Amino acid sequence: MTTTTVKKIKENGRDRLIAASLKLFANKGFHACSIREICEEAKANISLVSFHFGGKEGLLDTIFLELVEQDFSRLEAILVNPTSSEDVKIRLDLFLHEYVEFSIKHGDVISLYLEELERGNPQAVELQPKTYGKLWNALLTFFIEAQEKNLIDQSLNVEIVSFQILAPINHLIRSRRSSYRTTKLSLEDEEFRSKFLSQIVKAAF
């Protein structure tokens, strides 16, 4: 067996493990899934989890990073070079809609990560600067640039505004099931999502 063939087998096993984990984490939750279950679902040798990821926690880290890498770069690209006050609002609205759609699409993994971050899980904390920290900095930079161009009120505290924008969205993402049971409101409802995000953008300025 050639080195290239071995490499392909390993890569295929890695991809199968990621796909199986996404499915099982969504259906059962991270803590309820065993490595054995994941490997059975992926039809992969149990040793590949340690080989590729170092364990179940490393597998979750890899999944999360691979999910956000492309999507978060696209989100950051929205928040650049505002040209007018109206453009600031349009870009912010687009950014929020794209962010929420990404979070809905990968809801279980995102919720799990946010829960672990809230608990102070060292692995989640270590990933924060590469993920949500990047979005936070992109939003701050966007507002600072808008102020420098006199496109938004100079007296606005951009850190407070950014927090007021992201905090309620992240709360609904993280607690989406309990919030829905209590209020019957969900970001997955397109009409509610549109009104909710529009109100956030309007309140920001």
Looking at the structure of the chain, the number of domains it has is 2
Residues 6+ apart with CB under 8 A from 72: 131, 134, 135
CATH number at residue 79: 1.10.357
User: In this predicted structure, what is the pLDDT of residue 160?
Assistant: 96
User: In this predicted structure, what is the pLDDT of residue 4?
Assistant: 45
- Within this chain, do residues 164 and 191 fall inside the same structural domain, yes or no? yes
Residue type present at position 39 = C
24: its two tokens: 């099982």
- Domain with 39, as residue range(s), is 1-54
pTM value is 0.78
Final residue before a domain boundary, out of 54, 75, 99: 54
- Within this chain, do residues 115 and 197 fall inside the same structural domain, yes or no? yes
User: In this predicted structure, what is the pLDDT of residue 144?
Assistant: 96
- Over residues 113-151, the pLDDT tens digits come to 777 788 887 878 888 888 889 899 999 999 999 999 999
Three-class HEC string of 75-91: HHHHCCCCCCHHHHHHH
Whether residue 142 contacts residue 79, with contact meaning beta carbons closer than 8 Å, is answered with yes
| Distance of alpha carbon 152 from alpha carbon 49, whole angstroms | 50
- Within this chain, do residues 107 and 14 fall inside the same structural domain, yes or no? no
- Within this chain, do residues 106 and 12 fall inside the same structural domain, yes or no? no
183: its two tokens: 């209020």
CATH number at residue 49: 1.10.10.60
Q: Phi-psi category of 85—alpha, beta or left, where left has phi over 0 and alpha has psi -120 to 50?
A: alpha
| Distance of alpha carbon 122 from alpha carbon 108, whole angstroms | 20
- Within this chain, do residues 47 and 90 fall inside the same structural domain, yes or no? no
- Within this chain, do residues 106 and 160 fall inside the same structural domain, yes or no? yes
- Residues of the chain falling short of pLDDT 50: 1-9
